[in-house]
Amino acid sequence: MTVIITAAELARDLAGPTPPTLLDVRWQLSAPDAPAFDARAAYAAGHLPGAVFVDLDRELAAPPGPRGRHPLPDLAEFGAAMRRAGVSAGTPVVVYDGGQGWAAARAWWLLQATGHPNVRVLDGGLTAWEGPLSTEVPTPAQGDFAPLPEATGVLDADSAAELAGSGVLLDARAGERYRGEVEPIDRVGGHIPGALSAPTMENVGPDGRFLPAADLRDRFKALGVSGDAPVGVYCGSGVSAAHEALALAIAGIPAALYVGSWSEWSDDPSRPVAVGPDPR
């Protein structure tokens, strides 16, 4: 089973005997001085027929605080939200967003990390869909998905720091944020000492779709991902890093996610910060 699905494949599956559960996870990072993106309004204006809206900030994350801007949600509450959305363990799930892929990847990562066996992301998101859209809000039957009591493949600040020395820790943010040249959101700029800059937007082509698996393997190999050492990823708040984890999964490389990411790490003045292009 692959972790992404094309729009043509999704259209075929939706017309088949066992259509997947569709989740619309539109979201985008807003600048501190700009109006917040209204994902519900975007969903209401048009979505894939049958898709249920999922709120990343409220259902795929706990409230922001010392553990970062998008810490792990309470898993009991997450499970209840997924069941309300019609998610069942025995039914495939396809998640999509507006096209960037970050929010859909966060939903993919959280569902598979808590035990759902069949979750895929629509490659290219809503912009890749050529079929009709709907403004009808579905009322799905209650699902039965029960998440594992603890998500797998999760790093905290200490294990991320350790992995930066013993394995490979990738920073999925833009290069200028990694180097500390700009920091529009968090307390300070820079990166976790030992982490390697690997902007997640370099995993996709101009159309926003993922590069072929072979190209992704070559990219990560050039970054030192050989398969012999564990791999972890982080970003600003655990959203774009999920997109990097998805790219790694396409390449056949398992990776852990530091959910708190830079928003948690940089909030503690006692933690070391590296700046510039050198990992250390």
Q: Give the catalytic positions in this structure.
A: 235
Tell me how far apart the alpha carbons of residues 111 and 145 are, in angstroms, rounded to a whole number. Answer: 9
For residue 218, the surrounding DSSP H or E stretch is helix 213-222
Task: Report residue 71: phi and psi, to 5°.
Answer: -70, 170
What single letter denotes the amino acid at residue 148? L
DSSP annotation of 19: P
Residues 6+ apart with CB under 8 A from 112: 119
Neighbours of 158 (CB within 10 A): 9
CA distance 263 to 71: 10
For CA atoms 133, 202, 165, 251, the dihedral sign is positive
- Taking the C-alpha atoms of residue 130 and residue 24, their distance in angstroms, rounded to an integer, is 16
Q: Which residue, among 237, 228, 277, 276, has the nearest Cα to 258 in the 3D structure? A: 237
3-state helix, strand, coil in the chain (%, to 5): 30, 15, 55
Cα–Cα–Cα angle for 205, 114, 171, nearest 5°?
40
